Amino acid sequence: MTIPRAAKTLRRTRIQEEKEEQILEAALDVFSASGFRGSTIDQIAEVAGMSKPNLLYYFRTKEAMHRALIDRVLYTWLEPLRAFDADGNPEEEIRSYIRRKLEMARDFPRESRLFANEVLQGAPHIEDELKGPLKELVDEKAEVIRAWAKSGKIVKCDPYHLIFSIWSTTQHYADFDVQVRAVLGQDHAGEGRFEDAARFLEQLFIGGLRPDRSES
Amino acid sequence: MTIPRAAKTLRRTRIQEEKEEQILEAALDVFSASGFRGSTIDQIAEVAGMSKPNLLYYFRTKEAMHRALIDRVLYTWLEPLRAFDADGNPEEEIRSYIRRKLEMARDFPRESRLFANEVLQGAPHIEDELKGPLKELVDEKAEVIRAWAKSGKIVKCDPYHLIFSIWSTTQHYADFDVQVRAVLGQDHAGEGRFEDAARFLEQLFIGGLRPDRSES
DNA sequence: TGTAATGTTTACCAATCGGTCAAATTATCC
DNA sequence: GGATAATTTGACCGATTGGTAAACATTACA
């Protein structure tokens, strides 16, 4: 007789670890490409290379799979912002934040699209994470930026919108990848586009935030 | 006997105009909220306040509805970029382009999310539009910006990535609206956030593109 | 090695999907 | 007002949806 699934959380077997990993990998593929509503368990099962009931043995519902995936990915995804250092040199901190975010867009585009899909469709499954951990982290870093502005290290500006603009410009290269490629054309759509983007964005943000000529 | 649907394109009745309008309005609601795959004809029918077969009398398939919607919205959506004037003052042109794009994000968020959903999921239905009309328009405007940079009116920079960054930062306020609200909290998430965003983005782009101190 | 727990599959379910059909209703025009 | 064309609807179709039941296979462990 199969033991109630709650028991699984007590001790996890090797097979459980492997299969759950395998499933979440496939789920990332599918959810990031079609959003929650547009994805089907059958698709995920096929990508994962196992039968649908087998999937549902490890995750009772489609929601459970999605949730597990979000939980696993969210921490990593916020890593660059967490690394934002109040004691560092403002110009260098912003520069490396942009670099790190661009690297994530290049190396983990599915993770970016997973969140983009979710937020775009009203964030029905991650509202709590947005209003909780995310907001708190941003609040904290915004305070750092505000202090920099106050002490004249960077121009006076709204730190929240600064963070939004770094998010949007960098994630754009993951979320809108097809559009970027289409517009750049075959000649410039090679992997060099991330280098070009990095160069431009650093120029834009460093130049735009330099304190020189603004109010006292 | 019902006449073949092709006849509809010859002369359109008043009812046809009204109903198609009504359907596309509902379709915009649904498609922009769930993406193509995640939306159902039944949902659209319910929002439009008519029966499903009635919907399908005006649009033979779900694809046809989506296509009609894209076609109708695309032209308007590109209007701000089209208004970009080569003969104008660079600083003022960029400033007003940002403003116009922000206004569209504020006033037509569903349209923005419609495209965001589509592009995010690989643009399976608008690939031609991206590689055709969109690319051509961007190429043209990129040339304008390149000329400005060459003549020293703005800093030397990659015009394509400049356009991408204006797109992403402004559309962010439509596409990631829930996240923006969640992070800003109740106190700052009022409609004033668009004014704050405009102020910040103008400061960022104008400052970041000013030609002063860069290479000769 | 036996056996209990764990893992997998086949067959299936009701609900929903995109879409059709024919009959009924309404608008148009002479 | 009557004929004809345009519009609307309820009933229905096969395919797909998320999910279940139970038989079957495999693993872990004493």
Asked whether the beta carbons of A171 and A101 are under 8 A apart, the reply is: yes
Per the domain annotation, does B66 fall within a domain?
Answer: no
Last residue of a domain, one of A38, A60, A82: A60
> How much is the pTM?
0.92
Same domain, A135 and A34: no
Structural domain containing residue A12: 5-60
Q: How confident is the model at residue A58 (pLDDT cuts 50, 70, 90)?
A: very high
- Determine, yes or no, domain membership for A65: no
- Decide if A66 is inside a domain: no
Whether residue A50 sits in one domain with residue A14? yes
B148, B201: one domain? yes
Total residues belonging to chain B: 216
Q: Smallest CA–CA separation between A87 and chain B, in Å?
A: 23
Q: What is the mean pLDDT of chain B?
A: 91
Q: Check residue A128 and give its pLDDT.
A: 92
- pLDDT tens digits for range A68-127: 999 999 999 999 999 988 888 999 999 999 999 999 999 999 999 999 999 999 999 999
* A105 and A188 both lie in a single domain: yes
- Which amino acid is residue B106, in one-letter code? R
Give residue-wise pLDDT tens across range A123-165.
Answer: 999 999 999 999 999 999 999 999 999 999 999 999 999 999 9
How far is the alpha carbon of B36 from chain A, nearest alpha carbon, in Å?
8
Whether residue B68 is contained in a domain is answered as: no
Q: How far is residue B216's CA from residue B212's CA, in Å, rounded to a whole number?
A: 9
Q: What angle do CA B134, B135, B137 make, to 5 degrees?
A: 65
Residue A67 domain flag: no
pLDDT of residue B12: 65
The tokens describing A203, both together, are 């120029």
Interface test with A, best of B141, B164, B193 (most A CBs within 10 A): B164
CB-strand contact B52/D, under 7 Å: yes
What is the per-residue pLDDT for A211?
85
* Closest residue to B204, CB basis, from A135, A165, A176: A165
Quick one: A43 and A90 in the same domain?
Answer: no
CATH number at residue A26: 1.10.10.60
Considering its fold, how many domains does chain A have in total? 2
Do residues B52 and B91 both lie within one domain? no
Is B79 found in the same domain as B137?
Answer: yes
CB neighbour class for B176 (10 Å; exposed up to 12, middle 13-18, buried from 19) = buried
Rounded-to-integer distance, Cα B47 and Cα A180, Å = 34
User: Can you tell me the distance from the alpha carbon of A44 to that of A51, in angstroms, rounded to the nearest whole number?
Assistant: 10
CATH code, A153: 1.10.357.10
Report how far residue A76's alpha carbon sits from residue A114's, in angstroms, rounded to the nearest whole number.
Answer: 13
- pLDDT tier, B10 (very low <50, low <70, confident <90, very high otherwise): very low
From A209, which residue of chain B is nearest by alpha-carbon distance? B204
Give tens-digit pLDDT for B158-210: 999 999 999 999 999 999 999 999 999 988 878 899 999 999 999 999 999 99
In a domain, A135, yes or no: yes
Chain centroid to Cα A140, Å, comes to 19
Q: Is B90 found in the same domain as B18? A: no
The reply to whether A83 and A147 lie within a common domain is yes
Q: Are A42 and A106 members of one domain?
A: no
Q: Residue B16's pLDDT band (boundaries 50, 70, 90)?
A: confident
User: CA dihedral in degrees (B154, B157, B162, B165; nearest 10)?
Assistant: -110
**A107 and A18 inside one domain:** no
- Within 22-51 of B, beta carbons closer than 8 Å to A belong to 33-39
**Chain centroid to CA A47: how far?**
22
Calpha distance B205→A204 (Å, rounded) = 7
